[in-house]
Amino acid sequence: MGRQVCIASAGFSEHASKRSDVNMPELVSEAIEDCLKKVPSVSVNDIDAFVNGNMPAFEGSNIPELWMTDWMGARNKPLMRITTGGTTGGSVAIGGYYTVTAELPGIDTVLAIAFEQQSQGDTSTGLASVAYGEISVLNTLGISYEQLTQLLSAGAAIGVASYQATNYMRRSKITEEDLARVVVQNRHNAANTWWAHLKMPDLTIADVLETPYISYPLRYGMVCPASDGACAMLFTTEEKAKDLCDIPVYVNGVGSVANESGVLGYNGSGAGQLDTSEQLGAMKSAELAFGQAGISFPRKEIDYAEVYSPFPNQELMWIERLGLFEENTASEMYETGVTALNGELPINCSGGVNSTNAIGASAMERPAVAALQIMGKASNQVPKTVHTAIGHGWGGIINLITMMVMSNKPTRKIK
Amino acid sequence: MSVKIKERESEVFKIINTTNHNINHYKNYNQKKFKIMTEKIVVANKGLVRAEFAFWVGRYMDKFFDAFENKKILGNKCPKCGDVFVPPRKICGKCNIMIPFDQNWVDLPDTGTLKNYTITYYKINDRASRKVKKPQIIGMVQIDGSNTAIIYRLLDIEPEEVKIEMKVKVVWEDKTKGDPSDIKGFVKI
C-alpha cells in the first residue's frame, strides 16, 4: 500500500513578532530558499506538486495559496491547501507524505509549505470564530455575552490551556516551578536556533515566576509568543532521496486524531470529557503512528521528540501521553536533565512552540526539526546520533492531534 | 433553532429592496426547498466586532509606493523573460527565478492602455449611501512598457465614451504621501 516516502530537506524563514519587511509570499519564499539550499541538486522546477496551508482567517487574507503561487514556484502544477486550525502544519506535512506515497504518475517530489504572518491580522478575532460556537451554551448557562471574554477567551488560547494545566497539575502533583523549568529549557534552546523567535539565553526559573498571571497557573513569561514565519519540507521517493542527501529520513508512520470537543462543546454539543489532561486523542494518534512504524517501546526506541507545546504544562502532558515517559514522571525528567540537549531523550531542542509560534507553521516545524536532527543538520543539533524521532502537533481543544514518526531506516509496516 | 441577529436581518432586507431588479423568483426558490425552523433569538449582539486586518506589502512593493511620493511609477524586470511587473515582485512565476532587490528596476511613464473596465452603481466603502449618483468606471490599465495591469478609477469620462485599448494617463493627487491613494485615477488622453 503505497511506496516509501523520505524527507529530503526542511527549511525555515527567520521568525519574529513582526516581519514587516516581507509580504506573505516573500516570507514563504524565504523558507523555500532555505529548504532547497540544503539539497543543491533540486531546483523549484523539479518539484512536481505542492501542499500548502495556514490558519484560516487569522491574517484576514483569503486564498493566500493562490496569492503566493508564483512565489512558491507552483505555476501550472498541482497545488492543494490544507487548513486544520492549529495542526495545519502537521496536516500539511501528512498531506505531503500522502501525495508521494500515493504513487500518482509524474508526482515524485512534493514541497509542503506552512506559514503564518500573525502581525498582519488580529489572532483573537480569528479565534472568535471558534468562541462564537460556544455563545449559545454560555447563554443557556446564564452567562451573558459580555462575560465571554472573561471566561473562554481569556487571553485567547490560554483560556483553554489553563484548564489542561490545572487538570494536569492536580494529576501529577507538580508545582509552578516545574512549569517554569520547562520554559527555561525551551528558551535556552531557542537561543541556539537561528530561526527561533524568543531567544533568552540567561532566563532563570525565578525570572519566569516573577511575571504576572494571565490565567492561573499560566504566567506571562510561560506562554508562547505570536510569530511571523514559514516552514517548508521536501518529500520525495526513497530512490530520489538517496541521490539528494546523505541521510534520507523515512516517514514510517503518521496519525491524526481528535477527541476533545471544546471546553463547553462546539455549538452546544457538550464537552465530551471531564479531564482535559487525559488526552485520548494524543494517545490514539501515537498508537496509530507507532503501530505503522513498528515501534513497540517508544521510550526506548525514540531518540528525539518535538512536541507542540505553546504552554509548558502541555509539553509535560504530551511526552507522557505519547508514550515517551511514564505517567506523572515528565517533570522529573526536566529536573534531572534527561530532556536536555545532551540528555537521554532530548525534547524540543529548537525551543519548541513555547519559543516560536507562527501558528499555521508550528505543527510542521515539529517534524521538520525532528527530520533535520536525524540528518544531523538541525540548528541546535543534539550531540548524540538520532535514529528515530517524532514530530507532534496539537490544534486547540476542538482540533486534531497529528503525529509523524521518522527514522533513518525504513521500518514502515504497511507496504 | 437558528441564531439570528435581528438588526442584521433588517439591514440586508433593506439593501435588497433598494435594487430595482426583480428578485422575487430568488425568494421563492429559497422558501420552496426547506422546512422553515422556528427561530429563537439566543443572543442579539448589537455591538460591532472589530476585525482589524492589514497586510505587509514587502520590500518590493514598498519601494513602488515610495516612488509615488515623487509621482513616479517603478516596475521591475525579469532578467530571463524580460517581463516588466507593475507593481514589482520578488519572483517571476513564469521563469521561477528571483529578481534581485537591488537590480532590474525600470522607470516607467505615467501613461498606459485601458485593457478592461467595469461600470458600477454602488460604492463598497460607504454603507450609509451605497448607491452613487453618477456611475463609477473602474479600469484595468497596462502601464506603457509593462506586462501587467493595475486597477484604478477612470475620471472625467462618460460610460459611453470608454473604449478598450484607449490611451490613458495618471492623475496624481496634489499632495502625495507614498501610498496607493496618491493616484486619483486615470484620464483619457
Residue range B41-60, pLDDT digits in tens? 655 656 555 667 778 888 99
Output phi, psi for A316, to 5 deg: -65, -45
Separation between Cα atoms, residue A370 and residue A303, nearest integer Å: 10
Task: Kindly tell me if the per-residue pLDDT of A394 is higher than 60.
Answer: yes
Residues in A whose CB is inside 8 Å of some CB of B read 19-26, 29, 43-45, 59-61, 69-71, 73, 75, 117, 119-122, 125, 128, 135-136, 139, 145
Mean pLDDT of chain A: 89
Q: Mutating which of B91, B92, B147 best tests the A interface, going by the most A Cβ atoms within 10 A?
A: B91
pLDDT on residue A121: 76
pLDDT at A353 over 90: yes
pLDDT digits (tens, 9 = 90+) for A81-120: 999 888 999 999 999 999 999 999 999 999 999 999 988 8
Q: Do A59 and B91 touch (CB under 8 A)?
A: no
User: Which cell numbers hold the place of A228?
Assistant: 511571523
The alpha carbons of chain B give a radius of gyration, in whole angstroms, of 23
Q: Does any domain span residue A288?
A: yes
Peptide bond into A298 cis (omega under 30): no
How far is residue B127's CA from residue A333's CA, in Å, rounded to a whole number? Answer: 59
Cell of A204: 532563570
Of B54, B92, B93, the CB nearest to A120: B54
Give residue B16's pLDDT.
38
- The model's confidence at residue A384, banded by pLDDT at 50, 70 and 90, is very high
Q: What is the CATH number of the domain that holds A313?
A: 3.40.47.10
Asked whether the beta carbons of A347 and A325 are under 8 A apart, the reply is: no
Alpha-carbon gap, residue B173 to B86, rounded angstroms? 19
pLDDT (tens digit, 9 = 90+) per residue, A204-228? Answer: 999 999 999 988 899 999 999 999 9
Distance from CA of B67 to the nearest CA of A (A): 17
Q: Which residues from B are below 8 Å from A23, CB to CB? A: 55-58, 61
Which residue of A23, A45, A125 is in closest CB contact with B55?
Answer: A23
The closest of A387, A285, A393, A299 to A345, measured between CA atoms, is A299
Give the max Cα distance, chain B. Answer: 65
pLDDT, greater one: B130 or A238: A238
User: Shortest Cα distance from B51 to chain A (angstroms)?
Assistant: 6
Q: In a 10 Å sphere around its CB, with 0-12 CB exposed, 13-18 middle and 19+ buried, how is residue A401 labelled?
A: buried
Compute the residue count for chain A: 415
Contact A59 B55 (CB under 8 A): yes
Q: Which residues of B have a CB under 8 Å from any CB of A?
A: 3, 42-43, 45, 49-61, 89-94, 96, 98
Residue A133 lies in a domain: no
Alpha helices in A147-297 (DSSP H): 148-151, 158-172, 176-191, 205-210, 238-244, 280-293
Instruction: Supply the range of the domain harboring residue A298.
Output: 5-121+225-407
Cβ atoms of A382 and A373 closer than 8 Å: yes
Secondary structure, 3-state, B83-151: CEECCCCCEECCCCEECCCCCCEEEECCEEEEEEEEEEEECCCCCCCCEEEEEEEEEEEEECCCCCCEE
The pLDDT of residue B45: 57
Which one of B42, B43, B96 has the shortest CB-CB distance to A44? B96
Residue B111 near residue B71 (C-beta atoms within 8 A): no
Residue A52 has pLDDT above 60, yes or no: yes
Return the top range by mean pLDDT from A358-372, A385-399, B53-67: A358-372
Q: Which residues pair with B170 in a beta bridge?
A: B186
Residue-level pLDDT at B22: 56
Residue pair B74/B63 in contact (Cβ under 8 Å)? The answer is yes
- The answer to whether residues A27 and A229 touch, using CB atoms and an 8 Å cutoff, is yes
Residue A309 within any structural domain of the chain: yes
Contact check, Cβ <8 Å, B96/A75:
yes
Q: List all residues 6 or more positions away from A54 whose beta carbon is below 8 Å from its beta carbon.
A: A64, A83, A88, A114, A115, A116, A359, A360, A361
Longest CA pairwise span in chain A (Å): 64
Report how many domains make up chain A.
Answer: 1
The pLDDT profile of chain B, 189 residues, written as one tens digit per residue, is 343 433 333 333 333 334 445 556 555 555 555 666 777 665 565 655 566 777 888 899 999 999 999 999 999 999 999 999 999 999 999 999 999 999 899 999 999 999 999 998 877 666 666 677 788 899 999 999 999 999 999 999 998 999 999 999 999 999 999 988 899 999 999
